[in-house]
Structure 1
Amino acid sequence: MIADVLADAASRMDKAVEMAKDDFATVRTGRANPQLFQKVLVDYYGTPTPLDQLASLNAPEARTLIVTPYDKSALKAIEQAIRDIPNLGVNPTNDGNIVRITMPELTQDRRKEYVKLVRTKGEDARVHVRGIRRKMKDDLDALKSDFGEDELARAEKELDALTRSHVDDIDDALKRKEAELLEV
C-alpha cells in the first residue's frame, strides 16, 4: 500500500519534470529549434492539429527553420498558425512548397524577459511537484489505521526525498535554460 503511494508519487513527479522541460523547450533562445513549434496548433480542415503531425520541421542553419508540409493544401494554414504565435516575432515566408522561418536576433532586454518567463515556468513546475507531495502525504495519512507510525514516518521521509530530487531536477533544467538564453 505504502509502496503503491510512493510509486504513484514518483510517476507523477517524473511527468511534472518532463512537462517542465517541454515548457522550457518552447521558449526561444535565438537559434532555430523545431521544439519551439511543438505546441503550435494548425486549423487543418476545421480541426486544431499539432504542427508536427502536418509537416516535418528541420533547422538547416542556426537561425533558419524549414517547415515542409505533408499536404501542400495545408501550407497557408501552417503559415498563418506560425504567424499567430505570440511573442515569437517571426514572419514566415511561403514559396509554394515549404515555409521558411528566419529567427531574428534576440536583444538583451528580450533575453531577460525570456529568463523571467522561464523562471515563472520553473516555479509553476516546483509548485506542481509540491502539490503532488501534499496529495500523496494525505494518502499516506489515510493509511494510519493500517500501518504503524514508524512505517508512515519512513514513507514520509522517502516522499520528501523524492520531492527534493524532482525539484532539484527542475532547478537543473532551469539553470541550463537560463544559461542558454543568456548566451550571446
Structure 2
Amino acid sequence: MRHPLVKNAEDRMNKAVEKISEELRKMRTGRPSPAILEEIKVDYYGAQTPISQLATVNITEDRALIIKPWDRSVLSSIEKAIFASDLGLTPQNDGNVIRLTFPTPTTEQRQKWAKKAKEIAEQGKIAIRNIRRDILKELKGDTKDGKISEDDEKRIEKEIQDLTDKKILEIDKLLEKKEKEIMEV
C-alpha cells in the first residue's frame, strides 16, 4: 500500500502537470486553434461569458477560425472582446460570422513563442520540485516524531524522487510537443 505522503505528492504533481498542459495548450502557435479563445470573455447581457458558450468555433483550411454565434446580436461584443485581447489578430465581421485569419508567423515570432513555452514548462518543473521539497520536509518531520521508520523513510524518499522524475519527464514531453507544433510551418 502506498504511503499517504506519496499519494499526496502524486495528486499535487498531477495538478501541476495538468496546469502546465493547459497553459501550453492555450498558447498561440502558427496554426489556428479554438483553445486560444478560451480566455476571452464577452460581455453578454451583463455577464462575462466565454466565446465557446456563445458560438461555435471552427477551423478552416486557409489558416482561419470561424466564430459563428448562436445569437447574432452578440457579434459586435465578440469582435470587441477579440480586439481587446492580446491575441494580435484582427477579427473580420461579415454580419453572420467572425473570421480570424492567422498570418504565417515569422521565424522570430516562432522563436519567441518557443521561448515562452520553455518558461511555462520551467515554471511547472519548479512547482514539481517545490512539491517534492515540501513532502520530503514533512517526511523528515514524521521520521523525527517516530511515525515512520528510517527504512520506510528511505523507501518513500525514493518513491517521491521517482515520481518527481516521471512528472518532470511528462512536462518535457509536453514542451517538446508544443515546440514542434510552434516550429511547424
Normalising by the residue count of structure 1, what TM-score does the alignment of the two structures yield?
Answer: 0.91
Deviations 1:131-183 (A, max 9, x none): 11122222222322211011011111101110110011001111111122112
Deviations 1:91-149 (A, max 9, x none): 01112222111111101111111111111111111111111112222222232221101
Match of 2:40 in 1: 40
Distance 1:178 1:169 in 2: 14
Match of 1:49 in 2: 49
Deviates more, 1:51-60 or 1:155-164: 51-60
Distance 1:57 1:115 in 2: 25
* Structure 2 unaligned blocks of 5 or more: none
Runs of 4+ in 1 over 6 A off after TM superposition: none
Distance 1:49 1:137 in 2: 42
Match of 1:5 in 2: 5
* Structure 1 unaligned blocks of 5 or more: none
Match of 1:148 in 2: 149
- Contact 2:5/2:135 (<8 A) preserved: yes
Distance 2:73 2:135 in 1: 49
Aligned pair count reads 183
Match of 2:119 in 1: 120
Match of 1:180 in 2: 181
Task: For residue 96 of structure 1, give the secondary structure of its aligned residue in structure 2.
Answer: coil
Determine what percentage of the aligned residue pairs are the same residue.
39
Question: What is the letter of the counterpart of residue 43 of structure 1?
Answer: D
**Correspondences of 1:1-184 after superposition (within 5 Å):** 3-86=3-86, 88-144=87-143, 145-184=146-185
Task: For residue 100 of structure 1, give the secondary structure of its aligned residue in structure 2.
Answer: strand
- Contact 1:68/1:98 (<8 A) preserved: yes
Normalising by the residue count of structure 2, what TM-score does the alignment of the two structures yield?
Answer: 0.91
